[in-house]
């Protein structure tokens, strides 16, 4: 008889593989991610490496939380960063770009780097003093069980206690209502891939990214 799923929160700094697999599953139908990695084989065999590197970097900030089932498998991960990132983080960002070039080629690395810096510019313009939810994802086989809400809770509670707002970018419109239930409000919608030739020639906008902001509760 299978064990009943049990969720618990842990803070991680060293483990990267199991959260990355949960995130790979979570983002397999994400419109923005799949625009970069439309090939199913590439997605299945290489995209977990992208998430591994992100978990490694963000986990070092001490603001990453995961939800595990009763077997100890990570099924959900929430990666946060402070409003003002430490100086050492920028060193890791440039290492991350080199990692992208090595693993995904120059063209994909250039596109990924551009959207990263574009979104960072938006964040510093619109929410310079907010905690940033960089990534939240729940494995597809564990969705609908409250794992996402549980993973969000520690940092939302901390933000409320410290009277600090929160900010995120949602790359999947299906997730916007979930964030709204947790107090986030839409502040802008962007189409960061609109100038890609494959969209421009067909007069298409491409995937939408929804910027969301959570005020400090009064």
Report how far residue 45's alpha carbon sits from residue 154's, in angstroms, rounded to the nearest whole number: 32
Which residues make Cβ contacts (< 8 Å) with residue 124, sequence separation at least 6? none
Q: Residue 93 has what pLDDT?
A: 87
Distance (Å) of CA 198 to CA 29, 35, 171, 182, 206? 19, 10, 19, 35, 9
Report how far residue 163's alpha carbon sits from residue 79's, in angstroms, rounded to the nearest whole number: 20
Pair type for strands 166-170 and 64-68 = unpaired
Q: Residue 27 has what pLDDT?
A: 98
Report how far residue 93's alpha carbon sits from residue 88's, in angstroms, rounded to the nearest whole number: 9
Q: Residue 71 has what pLDDT?
A: 85
Q: Residue 2 has what pLDDT?
A: 43
Q: Which residues of the chain have pLDDT under 50?
A: 1-2
Q: Residue 26 has what pLDDT?
A: 97
122-131 pLDDT, tens digit per residue, is: 999 999 999 9
DSSP 42: H
Q: Helix, strand, or coil here: 102?
A: helix
Report how far residue 67's alpha carbon sits from residue 77's, in angstroms, rounded to the nearest whole number: 6
Report how far residue 137's alpha carbon sits from residue 212's, in angstroms, rounded to the nearest whole number: 16
Nearest Cα to Cα of residue 11 among 74, 83, 85: 74
Cα of first residue to Cα of last residue in the chain, in angstroms, is 48
Which residues make Cβ contacts (< 8 Å) with residue 9, sequence separation at least 6? 65, 66, 67, 150, 151, 153, 154
Pair type for strands 131-138 and 166-170 = parallel
Q: Residue 8 has what pLDDT?
A: 56
**Residues 38, 41, 46, CA angle at the centre, nearest 5°?**
90
Report how far residue 11's alpha carbon sits from residue 93's, in angstroms, rounded to the nearest whole number: 22
Answer for the pair 194, 114: CB distance below 8 angstroms, yes or no.
Answer: no
Q: Residue 112 has what pLDDT?
A: 95
The two structure tokens encoding residue 72: 């100890």
Q: Residue 180 has what pLDDT?
A: 98
Nearest Cα to Cα of residue 55 among 107, 110, 92: 92
Distance (Å) of CA 52 to CA 73, 77, 139, 153? 15, 12, 15, 23
């Amino acid at each position: 008889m299978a064990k009943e799923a049990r969720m618990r929160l842990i803070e991680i700094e060293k483990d990267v593989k199991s959260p990355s697999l949960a995130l790979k599953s979570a983002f397999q139908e994400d419109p923005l991610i799949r625009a970069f990695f439309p090939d199913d084989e590439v997605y299945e065999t290489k995209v977990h490496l992208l998430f591994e590197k992100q978990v490694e970097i963000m986990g070092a900030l001490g603001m990453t939380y995961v939800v595990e089932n009763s077997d100890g498998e990570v099924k959900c991960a929430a990666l946060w960063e402070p409003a003002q990132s430490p100086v050492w983080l920028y060193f890791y960002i440039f290492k991350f770009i080199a990692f992208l070039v090595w693993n995904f080629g120059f063209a994909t690395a250039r596109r990924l780097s551009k959207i990263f810096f574009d979104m960072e510019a938006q964040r510093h313009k619109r929410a310079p003093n907010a905690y940033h939810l960089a990534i939240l994802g729940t494995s597809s086989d564990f969705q609908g069980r409250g794992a996402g809400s549980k993973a969000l809770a520690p940092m939302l509670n901390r933000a409320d206690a410290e009277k600090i707002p929160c900010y995120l970018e949602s790359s999947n419109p299906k997730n916007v209502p979930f964030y709204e239930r947790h107090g986030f409000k839409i502040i802008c919608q962007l189409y960061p891939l609109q100038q890609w030739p494959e969209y421009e020639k067909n007069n298409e906008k491409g995937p939408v990214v929804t910027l969301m902001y959570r005020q400090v509760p009064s």
